[in-house]
Copies of this chain bind each other. A is one copy, B any other.
Amino acid sequence: MRDNNDMPGHLARRFQQIAVAVFLAEVGEAGFDLTPVQYAALATIKANPGLDQVTLAGLIAYDRTTITGVVDRLVQKGLAERRASPRDRRARELEITDEGRRVLRKITPAVESAQQIMLRGLSAREGEELMRLLRKAIAAGNELSRAPLRDMQA
C-alpha cells in the first residue's frame, strides 16, 4: 500500500498545517492577531481599492461564502470598511482603513519571516523549485476547486 509520505494530498495538508502555524507564531510574536486568510484579504483590498467581495474572492481563490466571514472580522477589527456600491446595489465595495494600512505595514516583517521559516529545511534553490512546482500544479488544477483563482475583470 502507498505510504502517507508518498501521497501528495497528505504532504499538502501537512505543509499547509506547518505554514499556518508558523505564520500565526511569527505574527503573534510581533504583537498582532491576524490569520493568513485575513492578511491575504487585507493586502488584496489595499492593492485594489473599492473592489467587491466576489472579485476579492477570485483574486485569492477563496470561496465566496468564506469571504463573508473573513470580511466581517476585518471590519469588526476596524481594518477594513464595507459599503454599498453606487453602481450595483447587490455589491459591497471594500476599502482599507488607516488602521488597516498601519497594521499591514507593521506586520510585513513578520509575514516575510514566516515565509522563510516554513522553507528553512530547503536551500534557496530548492525553495524556488518548490514554489515553481506548486505554481505549476496549482495552475493545472485551478478549475478543480469551487474557488478557482480569477483575474481582475476591468
In the bound complex, residues from chain B placing their C-beta under 8 Å from that of A146 are: 21
Per-residue 0/1 for A114-154: is the Cβ within 8 Å of any B Cβ (1 yes, 0 no)?
A: 11011111100011011101111111111011110100000
Determine if A91 is an interface residue (Cβ-Cβ < 8 Å): no
Closest approach, in angstroms, between the C-beta of A125 and any C-beta of chain B? 10
Determine if A51 is an interface residue (Cβ-Cβ < 8 Å): no
In the bound complex, residues from chain B placing their C-beta under 8 Å from that of A1 are: 43, 47, 108
Closest approach, in angstroms, between the C-beta of A75 and any C-beta of chain B? 22
| Majority-rule SS of A interface residues | helix
Determine if A30 is an interface residue (Cβ-Cβ < 8 Å): no
In the bound complex, residues from chain B placing their C-beta under 8 Å from that of A12 are: 12, 15-16, 19, 118, 134
Q: A residues engaging B (CB < 8 A)?
A: 1-2, 4-23, 25, 36-37, 40, 43-44, 47, 60-61, 108, 112, 114-115, 117-122, 126-127, 129-131, 133-142, 144-147, 149
- Nearest 9 pairs between A and B by C-beta? A121-B140, A21-B145, A11-B134, A18-B141, A130-B133, A12-B16, A9-B19, A16-B16, A12-B19
